[in-house]
Amino acid sequence: MKRFFKALSAVFLIPCISVFSLVAYGNENLPDEISITESETPDFGNVFSAENDFAVTAGTGSFSEYKSHITALKVIPVKEIKINVTKRRYVGLGGDVFGIKLYTKGIIVVSIDSVTTPSGSKDPAVKAGLKCGDIITHINGEAATSSKQLTESVEQSQGQTLKLNIDRNGEKLELTLRPEMSVNGGYKAGIWVRDSSAGIGTVTFYDDEKGSFAGLGHGVCDVDTGKIMPLDNGEAVRARVNGFYKSSAGNPGELCGVFSDIALGSLRVNCETGVYGELLQPSAAKTVPVALESEVKLGAAQMITTIDGNGPQYYDIEITKIYPSTDLSSRNMIIKVTDAALLEKTGGILQGMSGSPIVQNSMLVGAVTHVFVNDPTQGYGIFSSRMLETQDLCENAA
């Protein structure tokens, strides 16, 4: 009889272990939240399925969400997840090089130096408490708009103090600066500043319906401080590639471009996910669907970029790693260039290719953002859906 009960226990133990294993596996590996388009239904494979859907809890014309119970084998409760339902978005493909003219909101302190005076070396900027990366927003109560304005204020101070309003990583400060007389003549503050930037990048997508465009996939940063430059206003113009410096390990190359007189549009936003602006006229670019984050897969893809006068071309790449959406906003995936022709010509990714669209399964899935210095055949990419979200936020804030 004991043997019978032992055998019976073993028979029941195996299914129990299987059930607990399924529940544990589902809780560990199934996401707490997924996004699908309005024409899709959630797919969790053959073992797991969505049961007992709740009513929609929130929604707009293009977005809604609901909660669903996930079961194993259609009977074993596993977990509850949130399902976001979005309307499929379409944009025009970029890939063309454009020129960026950006003027900062305030004046950026990029370096601090001593002033040689008749009585010796002095440090007015250090004494005032200024630091590299500070943004001077006002001078004696007047909005700071250019480095020329600051220079004139210092020179005309006659050694009297200047009241400076500072933005330091979002913290608002008020500092007092007393310029010193230089042995070279005139009053000096002992700071180097910047109020503008210019360069080239690549357009990621056009949205003719909204009259906007997006590019770079990362913000325009100050070359000295590495911080994103606060945008006051700016202009995007068409550009022409007239050559490039080839990439090699430890020495990433770059595109060389010439600005044209043809304006693309005005810049509205410079942030972590790229630059965004208003189009002067429709692009008439080829329209493709934008992939959801969940639709981006490891494997073969293509990047669209411009390296010569032939305009945007498709080149083979591979998506080798995908990061969770909680990771850095402009580093959502790692890509590797596999196109033999592109590797032969450029050595891989070049500076200036930032913003180059990444296409997979006939959808826009992302944009190139950074090149690996020690291996320029690889780089980071951002989800195109993340850039589209930023564009929508810009539009709602306008």
Catalytic residue selected from 222, 339, 356, 370: 339
CATH label of the domain that carries residue 57: 2.60.40
pTM here is 0.79
The pLDDT value recorded for residue 61 is 46
Long-range contacts, stretch 315-318, CB < 8 angstroms, 24+ apart: 315/339, 315/341, 315/342, 316/342, 317/358
Are both 210 and 181 inside the same structural domain?
Answer: no
CATH label of the domain that carries residue 138: 2.30.42.10
| 272 Cβ contact list (under 8 Å, min separation 6) | 218, 219, 228, 329, 330
Inside any domain, residue 128: yes
Report how far apart the first and last C-alpha atoms of the chain are (Å, whole number): 80
Known catalytic membership, residue 157: no
Inside any domain, residue 309: yes
The pLDDT value recorded for residue 84 is 64
Determine which helix (DSSP H) or strand (DSSP E) holds 240, and give its type and residue range.
strand 231-245
CATH label of the domain that carries residue 293: 2.40.10.120
The pLDDT value recorded for residue 354 is 95
Of the three residues 169, 189, 209, the one that is the final residue of a domain is 189
Known catalytic membership, residue 370: no
With a cut of 70, say whether residue 15 has pLDDT above it: no
Are both 80 and 156 inside the same structural domain?
Answer: no
38-47, 179-188, 268-277, 302-311: range with lowest mean pLDDT: 38-47
Inside any domain, residue 264: yes
Inside any domain, residue 236: yes
Model confidence at 225, pLDDT cuts 50, 70, 90, reads confident
Residues 68-100 have pLDDT tens digits of: 666 766 666 656 766 666 778 899 999 999 999
Are both 304 and 235 inside the same structural domain?
Answer: yes
Residues 139-171 have pLDDT tens digits of: 999 999 889 999 999 999 888 999 999 999 889
Q: Could you tell me the residue range of the domain that residue 33 belongs to?
A: 2-86
Task: Give the chain's mean pLDDT.
Answer: 84
8-12, 101-105, 131-135, 204-208: range with lowest mean pLDDT: 8-12
The pLDDT value recorded for residue 307 is 94
Are both 226 and 165 inside the same structural domain?
Answer: no
The answer to whether 351 and 255 have CB atoms below 8 angstroms apart is yes
Selected residue with higher pLDDT from 328 and 334: 334
Inside any domain, residue 44: yes
Known catalytic membership, residue 69: no
Inside any domain, residue 76: yes
Are both 68 and 143 inside the same structural domain?
Answer: no
Inside any domain, residue 109: no
Are both 81 and 121 inside the same structural domain?
Answer: no
Q: How many CA atoms lie within 13 A of 49 on its CB side?
A: 8
**Number of compact structural domains in the chain:** 3
Of the three residues 189, 210, 241, the one that is the final residue of a domain is 189
Catalytic residue selected from 212, 329, 354, 385: 354
Catalytic residue selected from 134, 218, 329, 370: 218
Are both 157 and 125 inside the same structural domain?
Answer: yes
